[in-house]
């Protein structure tokens, strides 16, 4: 079971025209606690940022599934409704879940979501797919802990 946190990193960078601008970037971190998420995000960002940066707003996110695509450069959030039948009441019950899909565009995200869902036995429908501002995802790696 993964524990996902969304972290926002604020820092200054030099824009194309040479002007220094303040930017905020969003990242997903797989960690057990807020403290671990903050520490891992800080370590991941060090090589890419010179000067001061702040890790602000760490928010726990409920993400049920991640579908990776190494060729994708954006992250899409998919709201998927699992459909089950309450046989006693004779009604359909819908349970919402959140999934993240890495893709280049919304069509590729749609296809990647359905490809990832191929093995499921449950009926489902896709309520929405939206592009996020997530720059990168840092999932927990077992060999990282041993190092």
In a structure prediction context, what are the per-residue pLDDT tens digits for the chain, which is 147 residues long? 789 999 999 888 777 888 888 888 999 999 999 999 998 998 888 887 776 777 668 999 999 999 999 999 999 999 999 998 888 888 889 999 999 999 999 999 999 999 999 988 889 999 999 999 999 999 987 665 544
- Checking phi first, is residue 118 left (phi over 0); if not, alpha (psi -120 to 50) or beta? alpha
Pairing of β 74-86 and β 65-67: unpaired
Tell me the sheet residues that pair with 126: 80
H or E stretch at 40: helix 34-45
Full-model pTM = 0.85
Q: Tokens 């190494």: give the residue.
A: 70
* Nearest 10 degrees: Cα torsion 117, 123, 127, 131: 0
């Amino acid at each position: 079971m993964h524990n996902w946190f969304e972290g926002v990193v604020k820092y200054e960078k030099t824009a194309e025209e040479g002007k220094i601008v303040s930017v905020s970037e969003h990242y997903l971190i797989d960690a057990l606690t807020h403290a671990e998420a903050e520490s891992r995000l800080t370590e991941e960002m060090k090589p890419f940022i010179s000067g001061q940066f702040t890790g602000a707003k760490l928010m726990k996110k409920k993400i049920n599934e991640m579908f990776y695509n190494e060729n994708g450069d954006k992250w899409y959030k998919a709201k998927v409704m699992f459909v089950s039948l309450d046989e006693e009441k004779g009604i359909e019950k819908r349970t919402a879940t959140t999934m993240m899909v890495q893709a280049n565009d919304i069509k590729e995200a749609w296809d990647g979501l359905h490809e990832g869902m191929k093995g499921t036995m449950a009926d489902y429908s896709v309520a929405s797919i939206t592009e996020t501002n997530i720059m990168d995802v840092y999932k927990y790696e077992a060999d990282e802990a041993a190092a």
